[in-house]
Amino acid sequence: MKLRAYAKINLGLDVLGKRADGYHEVKMIMQMIQMYDLLDIEKTKQPGIHLTTNLSYIPVNENNLVYKAAQLLMERFDVRDGVTINLHKFIPVAAGMAGGSSDAAAALVGINQLFNLGLNVQELMELGVKIGADVPYCVMRGTALAEGIGEKLTVLPTMPPCYILIGKPGISVSTKYVYTHLDLLPDRKHPDIDGMITALENGDLYGITDRMENILETVTIPAHPVIEEIKDHMKAHGAINAMMSGSGPTVFGIFDNQKKAEKACEALRKSSLAKQVFLTEPFYNGGTSDDK
């Protein structure tokens, strides 16, 4: 079985406060994009989980979310056969694009199908939250409002057609550091998430881009100014708007014109600002997945 694990960007990201358990309450709009990792999953007679990857620094044990996802289902349903999983990473690692969570979601879907466990999407999403807050969304895919710690999901209308330029600088950002240093004083300006939802309902690309805002930029950009430089570079080359995804450091720019987007992509590759550069489009549920 071959499965695609798609990356996500946050069109808008707000943090409402910190809970007693240490987690943060968020309100954000998630959008899946046409960038994906590949999982090859095969049933074996030999018990256990055998995971391999194309990147030497990625763990292949219970420290990998794919392994955790397979283990969760196989232990819960007392699966006696084994499984081999080959994970081919393409989504930048530790980039604010939910690559690991999406890999785990694909593993849940794959193990469920491979062993005929009979779980529906909602049941897989409920199990997914045990692995990570983004996993339920990655099972669901598409465009969604995420609330709570990210596990309360509301399906939103699909994003209008556009071109999305991705630029990841050669740095890593600690999500824990970003949330720990986030200033949540009462006078803090918050992103207009509700206004963005209305723009999505109206199919208004410019209404969406006008409201693109990520409150975590207030921490990550002062620590890593290159993020602002990439945003400015994208806008100078025709992006309607550009923003950091998640806790960073990846930046994405939205374009309404393919040629403009291609030229901006070429310009960003020639610059020394981003180590990884991709041009892609939104992912739409139901029409673009080649999973089988």
Query: Which residues form the catalytic set?
Result: 8, 134
Per the CB < 8 A criterion, the answer to whether 120 and 77 are in contact is: no
Beta bridge partners of 29: 12, 145
C-alpha–C-alpha distance, residues 32 and 282, integer Å: 6
> What phi and psi, each to the nearest 5 degrees, are found at residue 267?
-65, -40
- Give how far the C-alpha of residue 270 lies from the chain's centroid of Cα atoms, to the nearest Å: 26
Nearest alpha-carbon partner for 227 in 175, 189, 179, 173: 173
Element (H, E) at 140: helix 135-140
C-alpha torsion 72→75→76→80, nearest 10:
130
